Each structure stands twice: as C-alpha cells, then as structure tokens.
C-alpha cells in the first residue's frame, strides 16, 4: 500500500480534476488484477464494495489499541497527535516506528493482502471476536512500512480518505486507464455496485457482461435528510413528487418465474419471514424487481415499527403471528420487469410501470404519490407532512421525477423530511473532544435530566446543532469548569470529561426509547441541540417525570392509529 498512499498524497495535492484522473489511471494500469480490484475499491474510501453491506465493526478504540500494541506510544503522544491532525489516520501515522514485534514472514501489504485482512476482520465471529479483530489490525499495522502507508490504511479502515475523490472521478480514471467508453464504465458501476469489479472488467473488455440480474440484490438507493421548516431550496429546480415515509424495513423483492426472494438492507434473503408477501407476489404475473418498505398493518392502516419487531425476531412465522401482526410490502420503485432492467429510466417511467403491475391494496401494494406542483412552498409541504403523520407514517419522501435509480447512493434525488417529536431542556454533565475539524474543541456533550432528589440522570449525547462560534465559547467555559476525575459518573466512558452542571441546552429528538445505556433508563433517538438556554438555570431543566410523560404520550398516539 506504499504506492497507493503516495498516489493519494499526489491526488490530494492537486486541485486539477484532469491531473487527478491521470495520476490514478497511470497507477491503476500498473496493478495486476487482484491489486486492481482492491485498490480501485479503496480509492472510494471504504474497505468493501458499495453493494457489500459488510463492515469492519472497528471502533476507534480498537484501532488505537492495535496501533499501540505495535508502535507502543502513550496517551499523551496520541492525544497530541490527534489534536494536531484531527484525523485518526494522520495521528497514527505520526506514531509509526519500526514495530516492536517484527511481523516476520508476513506478506508485504499489497492492496489484495489488505483486502484479505478486511475479509478476515468482517468474518471474525463468536466470543472473542473483538480480540480477533484487534489481532488482525495489529498484523495490518505491523506490515505498514512507514507513516504515510499507516495513515492511508487507517483512513480506509475508518472510511474517510479525504483526498477530494468522488466516485465519478475514479470511474473516469478507470475509463482512461483501460481505454473503455466512460458511459459503459458508469453503467456497469451502477449494475455491479463495485468499482473494483468494474476496473477489472474494463481492463479485460468485459464490461458488457456486468449486468443486473434476478436473484442478485441491487444496492439500495438512499435518501438525504432535509430540515423541517428550512427554506426547501433543494426543491426549486426540477420536478418532484411526494410519498409518505413509511416506518418499517426496506425490502427488495425479486420474482423470477415462481421464485421469490426478498432482500433486506443487509442484503440477506428474508422471504421466509414474510409468507403473505411472497404469496401476493406470486399472484402477480411475470418477473420483476420491486423496491419498497415492509410495514406492520392493522386493517388498511399502518402500525409503528415497534409492532414489526415481533416479526423480525422470528425466522419461521406461524399463522397466529401472521394474524397478530400482518405485514404488507408498500412498493415504491420498479427496478426490473421481465427482460428489462429499468435502473437508468427516470423515476416517473419506473413508477408508471409499477402502477400497472401492483394494486392499491393487499400484501403487495402501491405506495401512493402526488406531484409537488408548488415548487416546494412550506405550506403545501407541511400540510402533506401532517396528512402523512395522521396516516401513521413518519414524514415525507421527496423524489425527483427524472432521476435514475442510483444503487447504493445517498444523494440529492431522494430527500427525507422528518420532524422531531419534542424538545427537552437538559444540562451538560460531561464533554468530549470532537472529531475531524472539531478535534480541537469540546463538541460532544453528554446531558442529563433531573431525577428524584435532584440527582442528575444522563439521557443522551448530542454532537450537532451549535455554530462553531458557540462551540468555541463553550469549550473555553468547559475547560475552566472541569470537575475532578473522581467525580466521573459510574457509567462514563474514559475519555469523557466531567464538568460542572451549569450549561442548559434545549435538545430536539425524534423518538424516546427505554434504554439501559443511560442513568435515566431512557434514550433519545437522533438528539440535536436546538439552542443554548442562557435564560435557564440548571434547576429549571426538565424532570424525569416529563420524559415519562412524553414517552406515554408517544405510545398512546401510536396505539390510536
């Protein structure tokens, strides 16, 4: 990976797109097939292909522990390096030295060797899996010859290369390297969901063989969030449509002849768990691939996600369970119909074909949509939002009518609009140094509500919502108001810094859940800081009773629908 790292440095150093492409193309041409496959993938900044839902499950702590075992540095050295760079890869790179224990007879860390190690990490299972993963990381680090190599290997492991490479540029480099038409490279990348496989096929002139096929899951297209009540500027260009955002699990149904497979987000076949969906799909003629959401139902109304959990936990489903928690696949996209794959067709066309295929009710049903005529004025959107909530759904999905289906992509063609459940006033009890560009400020806050006898009980942790200026001011304040480490809360993580409970925040969230993670017995889903409440004192924060009340109200609302 030495040469890979050197190329990354050169790519990062030049702002010129054509130069980036030329550098990459030259390097890709040098590699043999095994290294080409791995390296092309690594340039996307992830250890695995887009369509591959495996992860390394490596927390920063494991990476640091592995690095420490190899290069033997202390906390102060790591802390200083991290604050200097704000990036774990660059920080660890600085601490590289000849490994204390030599990795004798190990292979040099070629891209394909690193790929093999990643496969081993993802496959580590069982009781000692954390230990096993760390041991493989140690082996990877011990094989790194210098700082730069360690830096970029770590960046791939943490999933963030930061060298200004979009996938589009990598595809252009592949086209340039192997003199393949750029459009063919792009199309096969969409079908394969794997830049590595595309690079190898481009070299061998076999791009035409990469096609979407029945029975092989296609990576799911994803949505980006839009803030409720923002100006909705994203919606001003192009023509958009609105659907309800359903609260279930994503599912991709493949029917070929009589065979039905249903792939979940992890791309496992979960058809056995949903016999009524399989049955309804079998009654529709022809072959097709449908994208949709499986939702728990009561009559024609939808039930919240909680109800579906009873179905998710079982591998086999009996008649009683099917009666207690019936489900339906709400279809919102059609990716293939008989011989034809439709990924490159605009959404409007895919949807028209879908509407001709599935009906408005039953266990495989069409998700209704409407056209957003108004160019996204807040009034229309908020009315549609309330109507969706009244139907028991989470919010809205906004989709561009002319967009192709981009497998594995979270872009600006699909937007999701949600709104918080409520807000709470809480007090900050512990803080942490941030990450990335926030590494030099205290930006991560653990906060608490008031419990019995005025005890402060933690309920969550928030990272987002404040401006850089606010965070800078708070950082100064927190540094001056640290509490001695022996005042650390019993369940706190080691890098949390306890602070005087004075700063009151208003936090918004989507859902309250019961949880053992925090002292209050509750956790907030997706907490965001709305503002600093300078006008409130710590004794004015919300009490646990208020949390319990909100929780009960939430359950009652769900029960009613």
Site for ligand AMP, rule CB under 6 A = 222-223, 243, 245-246, 250, 293, 332, 367, 397, 416
Q: Would strands 364-366 and 327-337 be described as parallel, antiparallel, or unpaired? A: parallel
Radius of gyration of the chain (CA): 26
**441 sits in which H/E element:** none
State how far the Cα of 166 lies from the Cα of 172, in Å rounded to an integer.
10
State how far the Cα of 539 lies from the Cα of 392, in Å rounded to an integer.
36
Residue number, 37 or 243, with CB nearest to ligand AMP = 243
In 3D space, the residue among 320, 324, 321, 330 whose CA is nearest the CA of residue 291 turns out to be: 330
State how far the Cα of 38 lies from the Cα of 112, in Å rounded to an integer.
6
Residue number, 367 or 520, with CB nearest to ligand AMP = 367
Let me know if 315 is a catalytic residue. Answer: no
Question: CB of 222: closest distance to ligand AMP in angstroms?
Answer: 6
Assign 3-state DSSP to the chain and report helix, strand, coil percentages, each to 5.
Answer: 40, 20, 35
**Dihedral over alpha carbons 414, 415, 421, 422 (to 10 degrees):** 160
Residue number, 112 or 416, with CB nearest to ligand AMP = 416
Question: CB of 263: closest distance to ligand AMP in angstroms?
Answer: 12
Question: CB of 399: closest distance to ligand AMP in angstroms?
Answer: 7
State how far the Cα of 79 lies from the Cα of 98, in Å rounded to an integer.
21
In eight-state DSSP terms, residue 193 is S
Question: CB of 375: closest distance to ligand AMP in angstroms?
Answer: 21
Question: CB of 336: closest distance to ligand AMP in angstroms?
Answer: 17
Residue number, 416 or 435, with CB nearest to ligand AMP = 416
Q: How many CB atoms lie within 10 A of CB 297?
A: 21
H helix runs in 456-511, sequence order: 468-480
In eight-state DSSP terms, residue 214 is T
Question: CB of 243: closest distance to ligand AMP in angstroms?
Answer: 4
Residue number, 29 or 410, with CB nearest to ligand AMP = 410
Instruction: Identify any residues that bridge with 162 across adjacent strands, giving them in sequence order.
Output: none
Question: CB of 326: closest distance to ligand AMP in angstroms?
Answer: 18
H helix runs in 54-166, sequence order: 60-71, 75-85, 88-94, 111-123, 129-142, 147-158
In eight-state DSSP terms, residue 292 is E
Residue number, 151 or 264, with CB nearest to ligand AMP = 264
Question: CB of 348: closest distance to ligand AMP in angstroms?
Answer: 15
In 3D space, the residue among 426, 469, 464 whose CA is nearest the CA of residue 448 turns out to be: 426
Of these residues, 115, 245, 399, 409, which one is catalytic? 245
In 3D space, the residue among 186, 156, 155, 150 whose CA is nearest the CA of residue 168 turns out to be: 186
Burial class (CB in 10 A: 0-12, 13-18, 19+), 488: middle
**Contact status, residue 300 vs residue 351, Cβ threshold 8 Å:** no
Q: Which residues contact 105 (CB under 8 A, 6 or more apart)?
A: none
Q: Which residue's CB comes closest to ligand AMP?
A: 250
Q: Which residues contact 314 (CB under 8 A, 6 or more apart)?
A: 273, 321
Residue number, 169 or 222, with CB nearest to ligand AMP = 222
Catalytic residues: 245
């Amino acid at each position: 990976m030495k040469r890979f790292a050197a190329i990354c440095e050169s790519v990062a150093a030049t702002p010129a797109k054509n130069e980036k492409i030329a550098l990459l193309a030259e390097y890709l041409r040098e590699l043999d097939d095994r290294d080409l496959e791995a390296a092309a993938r690594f340039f996307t900044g992830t250890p695995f292909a887009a369509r591959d839902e495996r992860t390394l499950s490596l927390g920063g702590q494991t990476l640091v522990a592995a690095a420490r075992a190899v290069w033997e540095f202390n906390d102060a050295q790591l802390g200083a390096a991290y604050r200097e760079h704000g990036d774990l890869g660059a920080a660890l790179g600085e601490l590289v030295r000849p490994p204390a224990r030599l990795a004798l007879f190990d292979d040099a860390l070629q891209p394909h060797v690193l790929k093999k190690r990643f496969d081993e990490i993802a496959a580590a299972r069982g009781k000692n899996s954390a230990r096993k993963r760390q041991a493989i990381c140690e082996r990877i680090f011990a094989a790194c010859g210098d700082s730069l190599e360690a830096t970029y290997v770590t960046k791939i492991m943490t999933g963030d290369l930061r060298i200004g490479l979009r996938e589009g540029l990598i595809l252009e480099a592949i086209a340039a390297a192997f003199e393949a038409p750029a459009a063919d490279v792009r199309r096969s990348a969409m079908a394969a969901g794997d830049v590595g496989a595309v690079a190898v096929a481009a070299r061998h002139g076999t791009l035409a063989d990469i096609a979407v096929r029945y029975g092989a899951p296609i990576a799911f297209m994803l949505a980006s969030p839009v803030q409720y009540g923002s100006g909705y500027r994203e919606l001003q260009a192009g023509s958009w449509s609105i659907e309800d955002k359903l609260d279930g699990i994503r599912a991709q149904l493949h029917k070929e002849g009589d065979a039905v497979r249903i792939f979940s987000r992890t791309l496992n076949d979960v058809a056995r768990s949903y016999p009524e969906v399989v049955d309804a799909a079998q009654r529709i003629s022809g072959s097709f691939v449908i994208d949709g959401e499986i939702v728990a139902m009561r009559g024609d109304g939808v039930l919240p996600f909680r109800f579906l959990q009873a179905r998710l936990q079982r591998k086999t489903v009996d008649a009683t369970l099917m009666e207690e928690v019936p489900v339906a696949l709400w279809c919102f996209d059609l990716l293939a119909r008989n011989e034809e794959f439709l990924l490159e067709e605009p959404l409007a066309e895919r949807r028209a074909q879908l509407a001709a295929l599935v009906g408005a009710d039953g266990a495989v049903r069409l998700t209704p949509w409407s056209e957003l005529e108004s160019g996204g004025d807040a009034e229309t959107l908020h009315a549609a939002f309330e109507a969706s909530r009244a139907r028991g759904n989470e919010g809205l999905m906004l989709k561009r009518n002319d967009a192709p289906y981009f497998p594995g992509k979270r872009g600006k063609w699909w937007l999701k609009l949600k709104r918080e459940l409520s807000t709470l006033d809480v007090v900050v009890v512990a803080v942490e140094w941030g990450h990335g560009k926030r590494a030099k400020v205290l930006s991560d806050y653990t906060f608490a509500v008031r419990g019995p006898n005025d005890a402060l009980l933690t309920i969550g942790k928030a990272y987002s919502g404040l401006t850089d200026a606010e965070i800078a001011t708070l950082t100064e304040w927190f540094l001056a108001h640290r509490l001695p480490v022996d005042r650390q809360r019993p369940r706190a993580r080691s890098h949390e810094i306890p602070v005087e409970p004075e700063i009151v925040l208003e936090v918004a969230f989507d859902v309250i859940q019961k949880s053992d993670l925090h002292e209050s017995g509750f956790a907030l889903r997706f907490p965001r800081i709305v503002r600093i409440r300078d006008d409130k004192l710590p004794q004015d924060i919300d009490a646990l009773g208020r949390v319990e009340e909100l929780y009960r109200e939430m359950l009652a609302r769900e029960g009613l629908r």
